[in-house]
């Protein structure tokens, strides 16, 4: 009996602590600043006020948005802050449906913050359906960029955990100039036909970890841009979407090298690509090296293993030109499952800068369609082969 009572007492204490956490010192509840969880009252000013005070306070602080629906316009949550700061979202933030009401390239931006945590189990709902119909990038190279759900710019030592990004108008999460940032147990969701809704895109970052995360979108589940270094992706479930991609690279002048990319223990289902590296033909110089894809399971994936140095979506470039991006020290190992197309392995490298030190090891991909067994194709590359190889090597 005593043990039961003791257990009950502990439970009640924990429950009580949970219910009063919004009133604890260091907790800046947006409702104290006038926020209403009615789903229609804009809480932008309340959130900015809570953030400003939390950021200016010493020690660890929490900006708290409890359960409920909240309308939110564009906000910049800017540091540096005097201590570690947690953005704890338990409710659902809803963006304006009209992208013109946001007035920028993103909806929620975290910038120049060290020691940031974003958590709480809540949702960033971009309400992107109207915006997707306005996307004309397939028709014009100078299309207007639609707003992303969340940007992390120059954020360091950060943990982004247990949140959902839903129906972004453009990229769901953009990570730029960050160091030592981890995404764990993040859910990213948009329909398969939602254009340019990359799950997580990164560039010019050092030390990015994406762990045990579920991504289904209308574009790349994860896209790794120039300047990305020491990136680890593990336990990611991807699909629908365009797979997990390094690139595209070589589109802009002065791109920085991509170095140290490790993708392992992931499952990719029903996507238009599996694991791939892509660069533009006839464009600018760049390099990508030390890139490794290991222990990947494919289920009905088109182009499961792909190097594409003739990447030219929508025909808006010279497809006959050669890529000026040098690829080297790349491995595809222990990749198994089913291909939705007969061409399961395609390594199409640059004519002038052939790929170097590319290894294929223990590949087992099957195709059951009417085009015969799975096959591979290699251009401007002599891969190093080890272990089982199905389809047979080039």
pLDDT at 138: 66
pLDDT at 299: 98
Bridge partners of 200?
Answer: 173, 222
Q: Is 328 exposed, middle or buried (0-12, 13-18, 19+ CB in 10 A)?
A: middle
CB distance 107 to 95 below 8 Å? yes
Q: Which residues contact 26 (CB under 8 A, 6 or more apart)?
A: 57, 59, 60, 61, 62
Q: What is the pLDDT of residues 22-53, one digit of tens each?
A: 567 799 999 999 999 999 999 999 999 999 99
pLDDT at 12: 34
pLDDT at 134: 86
Would residue 172 show up in a list of annotated catalytic residues for this protein?
A: no
pLDDT at 139: 66
As a whole number of angstroms, the distance between CA 99 and CA 169 comes to 8
Q: Produce one character per residue of 107-139: b if its CB has 16 or more CB atoms within 10 Å, e if not.
A: bbbbbbbbbbbbbbebbbbbbbeebbeebebee
pLDDT at 391: 97
* Mean pLDDT over the full length of the chain: 93
pLDDT at 4: 39
DSSP 20: T
Q: What is the CA radius of gyration of the chain?
A: 23
Residue among 172, 185, 201, 242 flagged as catalytic: 242
pLDDT at 3: 42
pLDDT at 144: 77
Could you read off the pLDDT tens digit of each residue along the chain, which spans 394 residues?
A: 444 334 433 333 333 334 435 567 799 999 999 999 999 999 999 999 999 999 999 999 999 999 999 999 999 999 999 999 999 999 999 999 999 999 889 999 999 999 999 999 999 999 999 999 888 776 666 677 899 999 999 999 999 999 999 999 999 999 999 999 999 999 999 999 999 999 999 999 999 999 999 999 999 999 999 999 999 999 999 999 999 999 999 999 999 999 999 999 999 999 999 999 999 999 999 999 999 999 999 999 999 999 999 999 877 787 789 999 999 999 999 999 999 999 999 999 999 999 999 999 999 999 989 998 999 999 999 999 999 999 997 8
Q: What is the pLDDT of residues 59-118, one digit of tens each?
A: 999 999 999 999 999 999 999 999 999 999 999 999 999 999 998 899 999 999 999 999
């Amino acid at each position: 009996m005593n043990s039961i009572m003791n257990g009950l007492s502990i439970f009640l204490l924990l429950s009580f602590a949970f219910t009063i956490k919004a009133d604890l010192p260091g907790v800046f509840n947006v409702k104290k600043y006038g926020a209403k969880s009615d789903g229609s009252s804009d809480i932008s000013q309340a959130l900015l006020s809570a953030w400003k005070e939390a950021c200016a306070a010493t020690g660890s602080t929490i900006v708290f948005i409890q359960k409920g629906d909240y309308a939110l316009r564009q906000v910049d949550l800017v540091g540096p802050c005097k201590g570690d700061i947690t953005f704890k979202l338990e409710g659902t933030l809803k963006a304006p449906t009209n992208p013109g009401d946001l007035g920028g390239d993103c909806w929620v931006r975290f910038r120049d913050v060290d020691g940031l945590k974003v958590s709480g189990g809540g949702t960033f709902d971009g309400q992107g359906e109207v915006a997707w119909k306005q996307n004309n990038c397939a028709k014009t190279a100078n299309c207007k960029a639609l707003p992303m759900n969340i940007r992390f710019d120059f954020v360091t030592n950060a943990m982004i955990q247990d949140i959902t990004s839903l129906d972004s108008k453009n990229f769901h999460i953009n990570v730029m100039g960050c160091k030592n940032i981890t995404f764990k147990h993040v859910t990213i969701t948009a329909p398969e036909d939602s254009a340019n809704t990359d799950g997580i895109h990164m560039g010019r970052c050092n030390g990015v970890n994406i762990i045990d995360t579920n991504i289904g979108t209308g574009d790349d589940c994860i896209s790794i841009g120039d300047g990305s270094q020491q990136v680890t992706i593990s336990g990611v479930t991807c699909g629908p979407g365009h797979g997990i991609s390094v690139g595209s690279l070589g589109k802009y002048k002065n791109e920085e090298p991509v170095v140290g990319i490790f993708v392992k223990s992931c499952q990719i289902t029903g996507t238009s690509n599996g694991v791939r590296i892509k660069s533009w033909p006839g464009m600018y110089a760049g390099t990508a090296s030390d890139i490794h894809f290991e222990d990947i399971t494919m289920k009905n994936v088109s182009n499961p293993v792909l190097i594409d140095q003739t990447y030219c979506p929508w025909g808006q470039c010279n497809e006959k030109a050669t890529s000026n991006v040098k690829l080297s020290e790349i491995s595809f190992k222990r990749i198994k499952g089913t291909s939705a197309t007969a061409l399961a392995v395609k390594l199409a490298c640059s004519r002038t800068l052939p790929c170097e030190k590319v290894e294929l090891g223990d590949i087992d991909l099957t195709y059951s369609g009417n085009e015969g067994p799975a096959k591979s194709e290699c251009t401007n590359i002599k891969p190093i082969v080890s272990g089982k190889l199905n389809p047979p090597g080039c």
